Amino acid sequence: MESPSSLSLWPAFLPLPAFDPFLGFALALVFTALVGEVLARRATLPRVSGYALAGLVLGPLVTGWFSAVELERYRGLVDLALALLLFELGVRLDLRWFRANPWLLAASAAEAALAFLLSLGALLAFGMDWSPALLLAAIALGTSPAVVMRVTAELRAEGQVTSRLLALCALNVAYSVILFTLLLHLARGVAGAGWLQALWQPFYLVAGSLLVAVLVAGAFALLRRLFNPASEQGVVVIFGLLLGALAILSMLKLPPILAPLLAGVLVKLRDPRPQLWAQHFGSLGGVLVVALFMFSGAALYIGHFGTALLLALAVAVARSLGKLGGVLVCGRASGLSTAKSVALGLALLPLSGVALLLAYEAQLADPALGAQVLPVVACLVAVFGVLGPVVSQRALIHVQENRKGEEA
């Protein structure tokens, strides 16, 4: 047998190349972006559906390009992408609107409460225990802020359904995170971890996030005097600010969801001037968004299917009915036509990154509980992460709020 070195073109004096896992990530990113682009051009579907679909294919469920360990490695990237989108969503929420139109708050409470109660009922009816059922229902009442931001941006959507979609989404994300934390720690309180601890946690979540949000919003206001947020340097400053906030949140063991959202809300409340930065902070933010959706798709395991699928379908139906019903009940009073209320209810359906983050948190806190919650959430995200954006997009086109793309 000839020695390999005599055949190889590789010079012996160079070290043999070792596979860098980052290459795998880079290729996956290119593949994901391509799938999104092809779906958008050929089928006029939202790009985020393509990203999530590509993630599904790359994840452990289909090809196994990403393993669970690798997903954890890029967690920081996902957190930053989400924080950027949540901050932007917060800036779109003007609290003064609720004073002028309190029925909007009623609509928000109704759609979230109905989605929660109907999902809970469905899970209990299918024989799930109270603890995981409550946690799942708390996750299911939310809407994916990332999907909503992406879909509206892609359509350049503007109008009543769009602005209500963004407002209700911001609110139900906040409800979902707070309620989830409360229920998770109550469940553990029941299991003997102590009641004081159970009640302290949600308070800590809200107070801690608010504190970080005040810091971020204050720093933003100061920096805005020096930088134009629409300029390239301005975007770098905002990135830095949010990265710092994420670091502090991680030190304080707080989820990276509520604080960026609240920070955005505070920025708009303090300064109603238009915030003119590039949507999703330009191309750098765009890369993070692709990664975010790729990972949310890749989080599905083969073991997730089975009974979890059935439960997820039950929640899917219950949650859809809840959101539609809640929005319709308050539609007229809040000043929205029935057709637009239906569109709003449908547009609120996407579920994605935040739901997964919460499910992971449940698993971390209590692996036994997490084992019941995570599979159902993963199935829900597979359904509402891929199809949800399509429903949102069609709903907005139907009510003619898209300024880009086809005329309905």
- Contact window for other proteins (CB under 8 A) among 159-167, 252-260, 347-355, 364-372: 159-167
Cα dihedral angle (109, 110, 115, 116), rounded to 10 degrees?
50
Of 131, 163, 392, 393, the residue at the interface with other proteins (CB under 8 A) is 163
Of 196, 274, 283, 406, the residue at the interface with other proteins (CB under 8 A) is 274
Of 41, 75, 156, 270, the residue at the interface with other proteins (CB under 8 A) is 156
CB atoms within 10 A of CB 342: 19
- Measured from the CB of residue 142, what is the shortest distance to other proteins in angstroms? 22
Interacting positions 309-338 with other proteins (CB under 8 A): 335-337
- Contact window for other proteins (CB under 8 A) among 113-121, 295-303, 346-354, 396-404: 396-404
Our CB check for other proteins shows the closer of 97 and 305 to be: 97
- Contact window for other proteins (CB under 8 A) among 120-128, 156-164, 283-291, 309-317: 156-164
Cα dihedral angle (232, 237, 243, 247), rounded to 10 degrees?
170
d(CA 142, CA 377): 12
Burial of 276 from C-beta contacts in 10 A (0-12 / 13-18 / 19+): exposed
Interacting positions 91-120 with other proteins (CB under 8 A): 92, 94, 97, 100-101
- Amino acid identity of residue 90, one-letter, is G
Q: Is 160 in the site for other proteins (CB under 8 A)?
A: yes
- Measured from the CB of residue 384, what is the shortest distance to other proteins in angstroms? 26
- Measured from the CB of residue 297, what is the shortest distance to other proteins in angstroms? 30
- Measured from the CB of residue 279, what is the shortest distance to other proteins in angstroms? 10
Our CB check for other proteins shows the closer of 70 and 94 to be: 94
- Measured from the CB of residue 231, what is the shortest distance to other proteins in angstroms? 12
- Measured from the CB of residue 266, what is the shortest distance to other proteins in angstroms? 16
- Measured from the CB of residue 159, what is the shortest distance to other proteins in angstroms? 6
Q: What is the DSSP letter of 404?
A: S
Q: Is 232 in the site for other proteins (CB under 8 A)?
A: no
CB atoms within 10 A of CB 364: 9
Interacting positions 244-273 with other proteins (CB under 8 A): 272-273
- Measured from the CB of residue 164, what is the shortest distance to other proteins in angstroms? 9
- Contact window for other proteins (CB under 8 A) among 210-218, 323-331, 345-353, 399-407: 399-407
Helix (H), strand (E) at residue 124: helix 103-125
Q: Is 150 in the site for other proteins (CB under 8 A)?
A: no
Q: How many CA atoms lie within 13 A of 72 on its CB side?
A: 6
d(CA 256, CA 278): 22
Tell me how far CA of residue 300 lies from CA of 66, 374, 375, in angstroms: 11, 9, 8
Per DSSP, the three-state class of 258 is helix
Per DSSP, the three-state class of 277 is coil
Interacting positions 75-94 with other proteins (CB under 8 A): 92, 94
Q: Is 282 in the site for other proteins (CB under 8 A)?
A: no
Burial of 40 from C-beta contacts in 10 A (0-12 / 13-18 / 19+): middle
Our CB check for other proteins shows the closer of 73 and 96 to be: 96
Q: Where are the beta strands (DSSP E) in 362-407?
A: none
**Most distant CA atoms of the chain, gap in Å:** 85
Q: Which two tokens stand for residue 174?
A: 């906040």
Of 37, 72, 129, 158, the residue at the interface with other proteins (CB under 8 A) is 158
Our CB check for other proteins shows the closer of 43 and 276 to be: 276
Phi and psi, residue 275, nearest 5°: -95, 110
Tell me how far CA of residue 57 lies from CA of 50, 51, 60, 122, 302, in angstroms: 11, 10, 8, 30, 12
d(CA 187, CA 44): 44
Of 79, 361, 366, 401, the residue at the interface with other proteins (CB under 8 A) is 401
Question: Which residues would be at the binding site for other proteins (CB under 8 A)?
Answer: 92, 94, 97, 100-101, 156, 158-160, 163, 272-274, 276, 335-337, 340, 400-401, 403-404, 407
